[in-house]
């Protein structure tokens, strides 16, 4: 049995070469360092080990092998990273059904050819009208049109189909790519009819790209026709390549900026995102043919935890904003909302690009947004709320605001917003607090995200620090583990530390010393593998030798023993008080004997240390 595709890829590709194709690295002893591409930093804390073919960032804690890096930098799943690296390494993935593989390749080819066809149609008579509309009326630049590969679908039933057939593609393949429609009659297929017709006709075409920039589908905006029976936008249906619940329009252009800015700007329309990128706000994405989904947010979470929603300011946009806010908060994002004077971002950018940037930078918090929408002029009628709200209007306003305020964990922040609501509603704060207790609270995984200030990171205890150092030394010098006796395990408090040490001991053999950590990581759950990479890197930075490591291990164990004994003595102190209160001399004598034994042991340890 030969090596797995993963092992084969790792044997052919050098992690330093792959990472170096994305970011600039410089030599640092045995390793290489760089500024981390996954968070903002001035001093390089991103380390690459060519010897062990791993990477780790001491700033943000991310790390792993070549696959982990490509997954993170490209924002893709493991399967996609496997295919990308296999292609780079020249490894054939035999597990994939060759029929499906061929189908995927053919659909990619069809989509690319279709894009070229649509681009060429910009030169036609009606295509030029659409082109002029984009340039003159919408403010799209010629370079932007070329970069995003915008095109024109002529008002003909089979022009694209015939073009693709002339290039050797079958009707069924074109249909599977989502570019044609089967004839319908009252919602049912017309039996015996073989002629499919083009899905996109008389429309400005927006190619839809996957994360690698390959075209997987299209969106078409109606132009030159006044037909209320057709939708303004239509999209490619679900295909082997295109999944609207996962695809984010423009992510291939935005992925670098998302990390650099540590912020994702969400807009609604295709022109909104194109104009935003044209204006220099390249950390902008849009959904395609659907509302925001949890899958979209999962993808964005690979790049940033911060979102600004900049949807249209009409009633539909307001509904979409509120729905998206709830979903984003439930998925642990920090959320703000852009405020715009124009109906949509594209119009705002055309009028004044700097105003768009200002709207993003000055985006308001979730609570400010809800207060503004509840008490500001109605978006549907344009009429301002009266100064004196009726009792029913007060009730409805409280119904919207109180469940949101209730989610805020910080009492000071919560009190602030109760006070603001009381002023607006001209109602006593005590009444609002009472009503808030009755308010239904939607379960959320991100209640803390509604607060204005994030929780401070938990500090490591002295025990945690010692156990981490101990692990770090053993991972670098696993041969020393033979001297680690069972008694020493009693002084370790972390189950994770014990798990790693136990598996490390069983993974080590002198013959396989170089492969020890790889063998270890295969035995560990995912959450512990990153910790192994991080800790094993630390000693490489200090250049410690085996003798020095053994000495430091002994010191760490001694310090852990002291901490453990002191904890035991503290527990016995409470037992002594209880025995004294109970006037139980026999029990007291027994506890004091144990206490004195620990005290003597502690004295020996501290004397030995001196």
The CATH number of whichever domain residue 132 belongs to comes to 3.90.980.10
Average of per-residue pLDDT values in the chain: 84
Q: How many domains does the chain have?
A: 4
Residue 278 or 319, more confident: 278
* Residues facing residue 336 across a β-bridge: 308, 365
Task: Answer whether residue 515 is part of any domain.
Answer: yes
pLDDT tens-digit series, residues 291-310: 899 989 988 988 888 999 99
The residue with tokens 């700007």 is: 265
Supply the pLDDT for residue 190: 47
Nearest to 240 by CA among 166, 327, 172: 172
Q: Do 77 and 128 sit in the same domain of this protein?
A: no
Residue for token pair 């080990």? 49
Q: Tell me whether residue 535 is exposed, middle or buried, using C-beta atoms within 10 angstroms of its C-beta: 0 to 12, 13 to 18, 19 or more.
A: buried
CA pair distance 519, 516, nearest whole angstrom: 5
pLDDT for res 457: 43
Per residue in 441-498, pLDDT (tens digit) is 544 434 434 433 333 444 567 888 888 888 888 888 888 877 777 667 777 877 888 8
Instruction: Categorize the per-residue pLDDT at 337 as very low, low, confident or very high, splitting at 50, 70 and 90.
Output: very high
Residues 267 and 337 grouped into a single domain: yes
Structure confidence at residue 544 (pLDDT): 65
pLDDT band at 92 (very low <50, low <70, confident <90, very high): confident
Instruction: Evaluate if residue 114 carries a pLDDT over 80.
Output: yes
pLDDT at 384 (0 to 100):
44
Residue 36 included in any domain:
yes
Residues 582 and 481 occupy one common structural domain: yes
Considering the domain boundaries, does residue 400 fall inside one? no
Residue 43 in this model has a pLDDT that exceeds 60: yes
pLDDT at 129 over 80: yes
What mean pLDDT comes out for the span 68-93?
A: 85
- Are 207 and 228 in a shared domain? yes
Asked whether residue 110 falls in the same domain as residue 208, the answer is yes
Residues 68 and 123 in one domain: no
Run of H or E residues at 413: helix 411-425
Look at residues 553, 108, 37 and name the one whose alpha carbon lies nearest to residue 303: 37
Residue 59, token pair as written in the block: 């700033």
Q: pLDDT band for position 395 (50/70/90)? A: confident
- Rounded (10°) CA dihedral 577, 580, 584, 590: 50
Asked if residues 183 and 196 have their Cβ atoms less than 8 Å apart, the reply is yes
> Which of left, alpha, beta for 17 (phi over 0: left; psi -120 to 50: alpha)?
alpha
Break the chain down into helix, strand, coil percent, rounded to 5: 55, 10, 35
Expressed as residue numbers, the domain containing 151 is 98-235
Cα 416 from Cα 450, distance rounded (Å): 13
Distance CA 343, CA 391 (A): 32
Last residue of a domain, one of 89, 115, 149: 89
Tell whether 28 is covered by a domain. yes
Banded model confidence at residue 48, pLDDT cuts 50, 70, 90? very high
CB 360, CB 338: distance < 8 Å: yes
Residue 610 CA to residue 605 CA, distance in Å, equals 9
Asked if residue 47 is part of any domain, the answer here is yes
Residues 103, 75 within the same domain? no
Are 514 and 531 in the same domain? yes
Are both 81 and 103 inside the same structural domain?
no
Residue 397 belongs to a domain: no
Domain identity same for 265 and 302: yes
Most confident of 182-196, 225-239, 416-430: 416-430
Same domain assignment for residues 107 and 76: no
Banded pLDDT at 189 (limits 50, 70, 90):
low
Q: What pTM was computed for the model?
A: 0.63
* pLDDT-above-90 percentage for the chain: 33
Give me the mean pLDDT over the 161-168 stretch: 95
**Mean pLDDT for the stretch of residues 92-116:** 83
Examine the domain organization and report whether 36 and 160 are in the same domain. no
């Amino acid at each position: 049995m030969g090596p797995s595709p993963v092992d084969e890829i790792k044997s052919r590709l050098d992690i330093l070469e792959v990472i170096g194709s994305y970011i600039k690295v410089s030599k640092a002893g045995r390793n290489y360092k760089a500024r981390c591409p996954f968070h903002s930093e001035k001093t390089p804390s991103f380390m690459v080990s060519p010897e062990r073919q791993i990477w780790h960032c001491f700033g943000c804690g991310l790390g792993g092998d070549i696959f982990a890096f490509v997954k993170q930098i490209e924002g893709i799943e493991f399967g996609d990273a496997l295919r990308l690296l296999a292609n780079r390494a020249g490894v054939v993935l035999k597990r994939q059904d060759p029929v499906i593989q061929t189908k995927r390749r053919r659909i990619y080819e069809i989509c690319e050819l279709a894009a070229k066809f649509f681009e060429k149609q910009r030169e036609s008579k009606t295509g030029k009208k659409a082109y002029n509309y984009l340039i003159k009326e919408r403010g799209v630049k010629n370079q932007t049109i070329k970069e995003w590969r915008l095109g024109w679908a002529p008002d003909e039933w089979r022009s694209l189909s015939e073009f693709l057939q002339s290039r050797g593609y079958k009707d069924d393949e074109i249909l599977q790519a989502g570019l044609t429609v089967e004839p319908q009659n009252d919602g049912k297929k017309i039996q015996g009819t073989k002629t499919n017709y083009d899905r996109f006709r008389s429309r400005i075409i927006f190619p839809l790209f996957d994360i690698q920039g390959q075209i997987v589908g299209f969106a078409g905006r109606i132009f030159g026709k006044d037909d209320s029976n057709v939708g303004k936008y239509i999209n490619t249906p679900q295909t082997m390549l295109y999944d609207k619940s996962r695809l984010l329009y423009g992510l291939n252009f935005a992925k670098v900026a998302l990390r650099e800015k540590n912020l994702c700007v969400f807009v609604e329309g295709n022109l909104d995102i194109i104009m935003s990128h044209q204006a220099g706000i390249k950390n902008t994405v849009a959904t395609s043919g659907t509302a925001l989904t949890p899958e979209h947010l999962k993808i964005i979470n690979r790049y940033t935890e911060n979102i600004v929603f900049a949807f249209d300011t009409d009633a539909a946009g307001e509904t979409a904003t509120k729905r998206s806010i709830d979903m984003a908060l439930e998925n642990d994002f920090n959320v703000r909302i852009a405020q715009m004077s124009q109906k949509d971002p594209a119009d705002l950018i055309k009028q004044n690009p700097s105003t768009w940037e200002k709207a993003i930078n000055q985006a308001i918090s979730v609570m400010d947004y809800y207060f503004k929408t509840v008490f500001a002029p109605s978006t549907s009628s344009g009429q301002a709320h009266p100064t004196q709200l009726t009792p029913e209007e007060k009730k409805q306003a409280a119904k919207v605001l109180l469940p949101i305020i209730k989610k805020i964990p910080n009492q000071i922040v919560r009190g602030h917003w109760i006070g603001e609501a009381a002023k607006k509603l001209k109602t006593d704060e005590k009444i609002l607090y009472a009503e808030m207790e009755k308010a239904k609270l939607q379960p959320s995984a991100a209640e803390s995200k509604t607060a204005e200030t994030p929780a401070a990171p938990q500090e490591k205890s002295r025990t945690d620090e010692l156990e981490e150092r101990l692990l770090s030394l053993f991972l670098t010098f696993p041969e020393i583990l033979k001297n680690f006796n069972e008694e020493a395990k009693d002084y370790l408090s972390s189950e994770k530390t014990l798990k790693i040490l136990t598996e490390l001991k069983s993974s080590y053999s002198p013959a396989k010393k170089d492969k020890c950590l790889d063998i270890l990581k295969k035995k560990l759950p995912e959450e512990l593998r990153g910790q192994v990479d991080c800790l094993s890197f630390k000693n490489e930075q200090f250049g410690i030798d085996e003798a020095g490591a053994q000495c430091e291990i002994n010191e760490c164990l001694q310090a852990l023993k002291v901490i453990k004994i002191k904890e035991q003595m503290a527990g016995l102190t409470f037992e002594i008080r209880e025995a004294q209160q109970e006037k139980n001399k026999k029990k007291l004598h027994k506890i004091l004997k144990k206490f004195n034994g620990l005290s003597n042991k502690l004295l020996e340890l501290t004397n030995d240390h001196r």
